């Protein structure tokens, strides 16, 4: 996944023109999406000619925590044994805590990036790929618009919220909520 630059944009535009020329409305929507730029990310798979475009909101960072490199330096000695990190005592880790810990997702040397199981590094704006390694069904549904939130209009800028816009990555399960009482009934229904 990379930011849309001129070369990638041209490849995507050519692909769209070839693949969707018979659907003028789809062509118009996708061309408008390309024109947005900014936080637009593009994935191009040349072997399958598959193009995925997503405008994503920046992830919500905790104040005073990011960028991590302000405290963690690349040459710092790293304890790779799972342990409680005193400097982050405000983080409650409840995300498969028996089997996971910080360095399963955060890179030990380049702290301002995330790390896939393959070792590939990711920008925080691509965190959906990291989540999708274990939660593939949710990633599929998110890409299809069945999970998560999207904003925008059909002919304008669109934005997909990342998993972390709704779920705390360290404790992703929603907290229980007490239901509100039913509304007062004003009188008999007619």
pLDDT score at 141: 92
For residues 134 and 69, state if they share a domain. yes
Q: Which residue has the higher pLDDT, 153 or 16?
A: 153
Give 67-97 as a DSSP string. Answer: SGGGT--TTS----S----GGGTT----SST
pLDDT at 1 over 80: no
Is 177 inside a domain boundary?
A: no
- For the chain, the domain total comes to 2
How confident is the prediction for the chain on average, in pLDDT?
74
Is 44 inside a domain boundary?
A: yes
**Maximal CA-CA distance, the chain:** 74
pTM assigned to the model:
0.62
For residues 110 and 149, state if they share a domain. no
Bridge partners of 106?
A: 114
Lowest mean pLDDT among 30-34, 53-57, 118-122, 182-186: 30-34
For residues 89 and 115, state if they share a domain. yes
Mean pLDDT within 16-37: 40
Band of residue 118 on the pLDDT scale cut at 50, 70, 90: very high
For residues 67 and 89, state if they share a domain. yes
pLDDT score at 56: 74
pLDDT score at 54: 63
For residues 74 and 135, state if they share a domain. yes
Is 186 inside a domain boundary?
A: no
72-104, pLDDT tens digit by residue? Answer: 888 889 888 888 888 787 888 888 888 888 889
pLDDT score at 52: 57
Band of residue 145 on the pLDDT scale cut at 50, 70, 90: confident
Q: Which residue has the higher pLDDT, 72 or 2?
A: 72
DSSP code, position 19: H
Mean pLDDT within 34-61: 53
Is 171 inside a domain boundary?
A: no
Structure token digits, residue 3: 């930011």
Distance CA 39, CA 58 (A): 8
Is 124 inside a domain boundary?
A: yes
pLDDT at 165 over 80: yes
For residues 87 and 47, state if they share a domain. no
Helix (H) or strand (E) holding 98: none
Is 87 inside a domain boundary?
A: yes
Report the residue count for the chain: 190
Q: What is the phi/psi pair of residue 12, to 5°?
A: -65, -45
Q: What is the phi/psi pair of residue 3, to 5°?
A: -65, 150
Is 140 inside a domain boundary?
A: yes
Is 83 inside a domain boundary?
A: yes
Q: What is the domain range of residue 30?
A: 2-58+145-166
For residues 90 and 122, state if they share a domain. yes
Distance of CA 101 to the CA centre of its chain: 20
Distance CA 119, CA 154 (A): 37
Band of residue 171 on the pLDDT scale cut at 50, 70, 90: confident
For residues 64 and 51, state if they share a domain. no
For residues 94 and 107, state if they share a domain. yes
């Amino acid at each position: 996944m990379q930011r849309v630059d001129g070369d990638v944009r041209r490849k995507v535009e050519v692909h769209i023109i070839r693949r969707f020329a018979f659907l003028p409305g789809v062509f118009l929507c996708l061309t408008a999406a390309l024109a947005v730029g900014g936080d637009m990310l593009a994935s191009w798979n040349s072997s399958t000619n598959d193009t995925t475009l997503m405008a994503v909101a920046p992830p919500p960072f905790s104040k005073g925590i990011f960028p991590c490199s302000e405290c963690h330096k690349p040459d710092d000695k790293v304890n790779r044994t799972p342990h409680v990190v005193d400097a982050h005592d405000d983080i409650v880790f409840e995300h498969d805590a028996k089997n996971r810990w910080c360095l399963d997702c955060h890179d030990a040397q380049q702290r301002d990036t995330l790390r896939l199981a393959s070792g590939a590094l990711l920008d925080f704006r691509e965190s959906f790929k990291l989540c999708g390694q274990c939660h593939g069904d949710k990633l599929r549904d998110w890409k299809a618009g069945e999970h998560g939130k999207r904003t925008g209009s059909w002919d304008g800028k669109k934005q997909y919220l990342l998993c972390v816009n709704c779920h705390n990555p360290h404790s992703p399960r929603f907290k229980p909520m007490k239901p509100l009482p039913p509304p007062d009934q004003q009188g008999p229904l007619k």
